């Protein structure tokens, strides 16, 4: 389950990093007549952003905890090997 969540978080971060806004800005110039987002749409976007932020934070915390546990286990194994 952890691998799935971390993989999805990685894919999401990569998809955001490879998207460029330069072409879209050149194709659709902003005018005064551009439609304004409805309040419900703004709330939906804000809610989605909050949920995504919580999911990424949870995945990061899980990954950090797993990494700390792995480092501790490796350090303990190294200590035992040195003692012998």
Residues with Cβ < 8 Å from 66, sequence gap 6 or more? Answer: 2
Residues in the chain: 84
pTM: 0.43
Q: What is the pLDDT of residues 15-28, one digit of tens each?
A: 666 655 655 555 66
- Residue 72 reports pLDDT greater than 80: yes
Domain ranges of the chain: 2-83
CA gap 67, 31 in Å, rounded: 49
How far is 53 from 26, CA to CA, in rounded Å?
30
Can you read off the two tokens belonging to residue 64? Answer: 């950090």
39 pLDDT more than 80: no
Look at residue 33 and tell me whether its pLDDT is greater than 60. Answer: no
pLDDT range class, residue 38, cuts 50, 70, 90 = confident
């Amino acid at each position: 389950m952890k691998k799935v969540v971390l993989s999805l978080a990685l894919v999401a971060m990569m998809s955001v990093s490879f998207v460029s806004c330069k072409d879209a800005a050149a194709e659709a110039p902003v005018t005064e007549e551009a439609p304004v987002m409805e309040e419900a749409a703004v709330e939906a976007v804000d809610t989605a952003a909050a949920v995504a932020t919580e999911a990424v934070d949870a995945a990061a915390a899980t990954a950090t905890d797993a990494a700390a546990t792995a480092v501790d286990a490796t350090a303990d194994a190294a200590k035992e090997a040195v003692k012998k």
